[in-house]
Structure 1
Amino acid sequence: MKFSDIIGHEEVRNEFDGLIKIGKISHAHIICGEDGSGKSFIARELAAKILGKTEIKDYADLIEWKINSGKKSISVDQVRSIIEEVNKKPYEGDKKVIIIHDADYITIQGQNALLKTIEEPPRGVFILLLCETMGRLLDTIRSRCQLHKIKKLPKEEMLAFINRKYGVLEDKEIKSILAFSVGVPGKVEDFMENTALKSIRDEVMDTLVSIKNMDYDNIVKCAQKLTEYKELWREVIECFAVYVRDSLIYKETGKEELIINSDKLEDVKKLAMQFSMNRLNRIFDILNFAKSNMESNVSVELTYGTMLFKIQEV
């Protein structure tokens, strides 16, 4: 993969280029961004440049670590293996790059074990920690790394990504893709390759538009229907949130061009008519509470049912 194949994130990439050029690249970095935002590509581009290479591919002195299959976190034992690798001499030159994916899922014990290595790695070793949120990383880890935030791509760059990846598409489909992906390239691939995501968009909007007039049985049925996508609960709640966000924006400004879900503009207008701004903001609180319950492994169907009843009551 060529460096030029990466779309966007020029600010962060130019910053890395400048540091490499003057020989001031730090030995430890945190690259933070949503899953699918492109942080892995940026990390591998940085690694290739540190190693003096001209393209992104596998190299003997580029080592990547991910959560072990079947596990939910990076354990202290896995961290010890990472430290062991860090202390091995480079194979080809005098530099080595270690990329740790999902670094925010390293256990507290593991982070403490990694701390000294991040603070004082062997000469020529560079450690890149990739994470979705820095909130789960210890302050002691964050303070010893340079921090880089990967932002969402603007519409123009998302269109360039879609065109390069999928060629010419119908305008309606492009609008749906942009609405779902909200500036995250990886979500474009998810949307195109998983038909369930398209169904989720329709079902969530149908639920929101009709929820005021639903009886008890219909709300239960909606909760059961959403539960069919229990592995995609994050996408379901995000879909609710983006529709509510659009309704708030339209209610406040009346500007159609600010609506993300432009393919569902008429439904967004209906929501803006049905709910006051105060009630739309309260729905955000309900969605955040549902997300917290999901992360705590509360029953998916129970969480959806409670969420929908609360939305109806606002």
Structure 2
Amino acid sequence: MSEQNFLAERFEANRAHLRAVAYRMLGSRSAAEDAVQEAWLRLNRAGTDEIKNLGGWLTTVVARICLDMLRVRKSRREEQLGPHVPEPAADNENGEEEIADSVGAALLIVLDTLTPAERLAFVLHDMFAVPFEEIAPIVGRQPAAARQLASRARRRVQGASVKSDVGTPEADLSRQRVIVDAFLAASRNGDFEALLAVLGPEVVFRSDAVAAKMGGAVELRGAEAVANTFKGRAQAAQPAMVDGAMAIAVVFGGRLRIVLELRFAGERIAGIQAVADPDRIKGFDVAILNT
């Protein structure tokens, strides 16, 4: 067997693991495949003469690649508008999940609220048992600081999980994200019928005093009235997590201007509260979701 074939065989033995790491980091099958392919190219350039633990080396390389991709994604987030839902895990040709069973859309949505370093620390340690001593150099921190990153991420994940379990099964984060994406797409496209499809017939929209001064209605009732208000708008709106709940953030001029708190009933939005008071917004824990 040639050296190149031997190297390829060893890499293929690690591919499923690397794909699982990258998918949890990026929430996208295509992006995960790109990260794994880049790891293969780097392995080819590096060779294996000085690599004692190939699996560990590849995991570190994939993690670094994903961290860079997450940082680029974050820097472009305010420029990228449009619906996006984390992709489900792919099935292999035998019908079995190729990527491990513990990642659902709701978890990926919560992971999207973390900083790139928090996400890396949480994924590597909590999902793949990578020691903090190995995580620390990847994020450029001391092991104690890497531990804190994972701890902060864990609290957010656990807090969101508790909130998503409240109420009916339809009120989970992944289902709400789909509804929010459909609402924003319909609003931007000026699609009145599509707006009606995601608004409850008795939906209520309210604005605080600051939002009303910015041109929002103080109160609107009924799907048609609310749909007419949002038709052709939401160009600066993005899905967000606000205090652990699904919401909409309106960002323009590089600043968060309005938060739309949402109430869901089944598959539709039943209530929208526009908050523009700067003092209230400062008190929110807001994380803009990837689009």
Shorter-chain TM range is under 0.3
TM-score when normalising by structure 1: 0.26
**Structure number having the greater strand percentage:** 2
Larger helix proportion, structure 1 or 2?
1
Q: Normalising to structure 2: TM-score of the pair? A: 0.28
